[in-house]
Amino acid sequence: SIAEIEKMWHALMVEMTEAGRVVRFETDVTSASGETTKQKVTRVGTFNIVNGEGKYLKYEPESGSLQILPRQPSGPYLGWAEELANASEGYHAFGIDPTGPTGGTFLAALIDSPTLLERWEQGGVVGKIITAVGVIAFIIAIWRLLVLTMVGAKVNSQLKSGSANDNNPLGRVLKVHEDNPTMDSETLELKLSEAVLKELPNLEKSLNLLKIIAAVAPLLGLLGTVTGMIITFQAITIFGAGDPKAMAGGISGALVTTVLGLCVAIPTVLLHTIVSGRSKKIIHILEEQSTGLVAQHTEAKQGA
């Protein structure tokens, strides 16, 4: 009838008007544990609603009540929602689900996306081993970097000093010459080379371990990926490929270990390069100074 058409038109106009409003009101909200309390909620448009804590709610048509989503979206969305819920004026960022009329599928997909911690847990035992190896490599690299930095400072101080000090590698090499001023040039050269060789293990300590970790981490990641793919294809063999979502999830989880392996290997290679550069710089100074001492000693002998 004409009256019913007018009511329908009026309802459509109300919906269009409300779709562009932000409204705050008080109503019953059911928590994930089933407890119902009165809370102030903020409705943005027609299908997006959050409580005062910034948590997203959903409307249950059967009970006619609002319920807190058991799993909330990650990232800045909750902070934006809380800021909007407690604001009195002005413009504020907010995550709006454009698929509200179809049941909030976009928000559901966003919520179901695993967080960074959940992705790490998908790596399983192999992923945890890769993480532990990466932590060890990072600790070793920082430790050696600090040690070599202090040794380098002492070597630079020794270069400016007129007497040998045995608290640094260069001082210990120079002390060989100070202790043997009358030695012939060939023997002195051998003695200085021996002193430099004695300093090399301390200066190059743990460099090979960093190199091994950088090479092994991607292989561990590949191992985790291959075993994960085997498990996924075994599940497909038993249960079939009727659910592509589950199959894609299994493959995605299997690839996590490869990502972890690369995330460990790349920084480890960079750290190894930095630490190795510091070590080679000090070794170069030792070799340069020892060669200079031999030359000076030979010239003094010839002049005498």
Cα pseudo-dihedral 138, 143, 148, 149, rounded to 10: 90
Burial annotation 54-63 (CB, 10 A radius, 16+ → b, else e): bbbbbeeeee
Q: Which string of DSSP letters, residue by residue, matches 236-292?
A: HHHH-SS-HHHHHHHHHHHHHHHHHHHHHHHHHHHHHHHHHHHHHHHHHHHHHHHHH
Quote the pLDDT of residue 64.
77
Distance of CA 65 to the CA centre of its chain: 41
Tokens of 304: 């005498």
Mean pLDDT in residue range 183-204: 88
Q: Which DSSP symbol is given to 206?
A: T
Give the model confidence (pLDDT) of 48-73 as tens digits.
888 888 888 888 877 778 888 888 88
What are the boundaries of each domain within the chain?
2-113, 119-303
Element holding 32 (H helix, E strand): none
Q: pLDDT of 67-108, one tens digit each?
A: 888 888 877 888 888 888 888 888 888 888 877 665 567 777
Tens of pLDDT, residues 137-187: 999 999 999 999 999 999 998 888 878 888 889 888 888 888 877 788 888
Chain centroid offset of residue 126 CA: 17
Of 76, 75, 58, residue with least CA distance to 67: 58
pTM of the model: 0.72
* Residue 297 or 276, more confident: 276
CA 39 to each of CA 27, 46, 49, 63: distance values in angstroms, whole numbers, following the listed order: 6, 19, 12, 17
Encoding tokens for residue 115?
Answer: 């967080």
